[in-house]
Amino acid sequence: MRCTSEIDVRDVDESCINIDPIQVGGRLTADAMKAVIAYGDGYSVCDHCRKPFRLDFIQKPPIQQFHKELAAFVNMDEARVVPGARRGFQAVAGTYVQKGDPVLITALSHYTEVLAVENNGGIIREIPADDGKTITTDSAAETIETVSREFCRPPVLLFLDHFDYQYGNEHDVRGIIRVARQHDIPVVYNGAYTVGIMEVDGKGLGADFVVGSGHKSMAAPAPSGMLAATTERAAEVFRTTEARTDLTGRTFGIKEVEMMGCTLMGVTLVGMMASFPHVRERVKHWDEHLSRGRKVVESLERIVGTRIQSEMPRNHTLTRVDTIQSFDKVANTHKKKGFFFSSELKARGIAGIIPGATKVWKFNTYGLSAAQSDYLAETFLGIAEKYGLDIQ
Amino acid sequence: MSKRAVDTVFEALFTLTDIRMMLRDTAPQHRLDDDEKEAADAMLRSLEGNIRTLREELIG
């Protein structure tokens, strides 16, 4: 089946249970798909853009109201939509980081935080993870002290992932933010794996900024995301242009410098908006998704030799698993090598695990129904049984 | 301009989208329970109505 002569239809989620670690929270709702159908054209949300000609002032569709609701959703004062969480990091780094400034991230931070700092000439320092691959308050406090001594001043910014992309482990954001505030370090709460799937209270945590990913966790098309800030920080990161061109003397109203003017001007924004009522509701049911994920993890643990590398019990549906002593042993003698596992999964209607991976791999069960998560758990056990692996 | 035809096209596309979501929710086996079968039947009837409307509006 093809969309065009050269582009295949993408039907992975219609045909399979998709457990791709980065895709599941970004799957569109039915309402988002419908909005995408109607608003696919380029500047589709701009039909009713009037003075002062800025995206977050548009009232039809209700984009202005959506911005207010987005800020409230994460308990912050102001919010803007951005083309992905990374553009939120970039905006904050562009505001606070100068060449040679020390900036803290963690040993499990996403690479786009590094790029955002590098782009402004900042110097990265990482807070180390402990043996369990979590970032502790003590570790953060120690690193802040060390970096402050090294640079004779505190770091200018701290990027902090609530749950990291490598293990899906939870880090002590509340404690770490408290320590950062004692040193007057602004904190960017990276909610790429939380905002849109579980409740987030930005000001309650003490964060200066909350960044969310539309396409990762808010059932929105890519690239989309949000950057929310406290009133104080909003005045800085959402500052408006003061430029006047020399020859023509042109000025540019209230366009925001870090946003590069308007951000999501069509299908990405309207998809995000259409999903939002469902997203706001689904965060209240995070425990159900977590419980289903834990059942799948339990079934994997029953396969002798399999080790869950993520923290246990699981506090997130993204999990990293080591199957070197189970499925990888099968791969060593199988004619398809590591591809036997993905082939077996595909034959049973499971997609999203990197083809060929049998040593260490990640999966995410978010969004599966109870029947689908049960099926997935049975599928892992069924493959193990087929290849003679011991099951406890 | 046929406003009715335009509206009907969107209505049909949206109903097809709901069917698409049903496929997602029941993947990979697509075994529908009684309630889902009933919902699918209603959607297919709606689509048939949409096609009749489009024939009237566009072909006459």
- In terms of domains, do A202 and A93 share one? yes
In chain A, what percentage of residues exceed pLDDT 70? 100
- In terms of domains, do A209 and A295 share one? no
CB count in 10 Å sphere of residue A194 = 26
Q: Which of A236, A265, A294 is the last residue of a domain?
A: A265
- In terms of domains, do A334 and A224 share one? no
Q: What is the CATH number of the domain that holds A331?
A: 3.90.1150.10
pLDDT tens, A116-130? 999 999 999 999 999
What pLDDT shows up at residue B1?
76
Q: Does B18 touch chain A (CB under 8 A)?
A: yes
d(CA A21, CA A41): 30
Q: Is residue A215 part of a domain?
A: yes
The answer to whether A35 touches A271, Cβ cutoff 8 Å, is yes
- In terms of domains, do A242 and A181 share one? yes
- In terms of domains, do A110 and A222 share one? yes
- In terms of domains, do A68 and A182 share one? yes
Secondary structure (3-state) at A126: strand
pTM over 0.80: yes
Q: Domain total for chain A?
A: 2
d(CA A183, CA A187): 11
Secondary structure (3-state) at A8: strand
Q: Do B10 and A37 touch (CB under 8 A)?
A: yes
Q: Is residue A4 part of a domain?
A: no
Q: Is residue A119 part of a domain?
A: yes
Question: Can you list the positions of beta strands (E) in A149-224?
Answer: 157-161, 187-190, 209-213
Once rounded to an integer, what is the mean pLDDT over residues A193-218? 98
Q: What share of chain A is helix, strand, coil (3-state, %, to 5)?
A: 40, 15, 45
CA distance A205 to chain B (A): 35
Q: Does B25 touch chain A (CB under 8 A)?
A: yes
- In terms of domains, do A18 and A48 share one? no
ipTM: 0.97
At A130, the amino acid letter reads D
Question: CA angle, corner A173, sides to A120 and A200, nearest 5?
Answer: 95
Q: Does A17 touch chain B (CB under 8 A)?
A: yes
pLDDT tens, A320-372? 999 999 999 999 999 999 999 999 999 999 999 999 999 999 999 999 999 99
Identify the residue among B18, B24, B26, B35 best suited for mutation to test binding to A, counting A beta carbons within 10 A and taking the highest.
B24
Once rounded to an integer, what is the mean pLDDT over residues A93-111? 98
pLDDT in single tens digits along all 60 residues of chain B: 799 999 999 999 999 999 999 999 999 999 999 999 999 999 999 999 999 999 999 998
Q: Is residue A90 part of a domain?
A: yes
The chain B residue lying nearest A369, using CA atoms, is: B25
In chain A, what percentage of residues exceed pLDDT 90? 100
- In terms of domains, do A67 and A107 share one? yes
d(CA A275, CA B28): 24
Residue A340, domain extent: 12-25+285-386
Query: In the predicted model, what is the mean pLDDT of chain A?
Result: 98
d(CA A128, CA A138): 10
- In terms of domains, do A256 and A173 share one? yes
Q: Which residue has the tokens 């002032």?
A: A57
Once rounded to an integer, what is the mean pLDDT over residues A155-168? 98
The two structure tokens encoding residue A13: 């989620």
Query: In the predicted model, what is the mean pLDDT of chain B?
Result: 97
Q: What share of chain B is helix, strand, coil (3-state, %, to 5)?
A: 80, 0, 20
Q: Which of A205, A230, A265 is the last residue of a domain?
A: A265
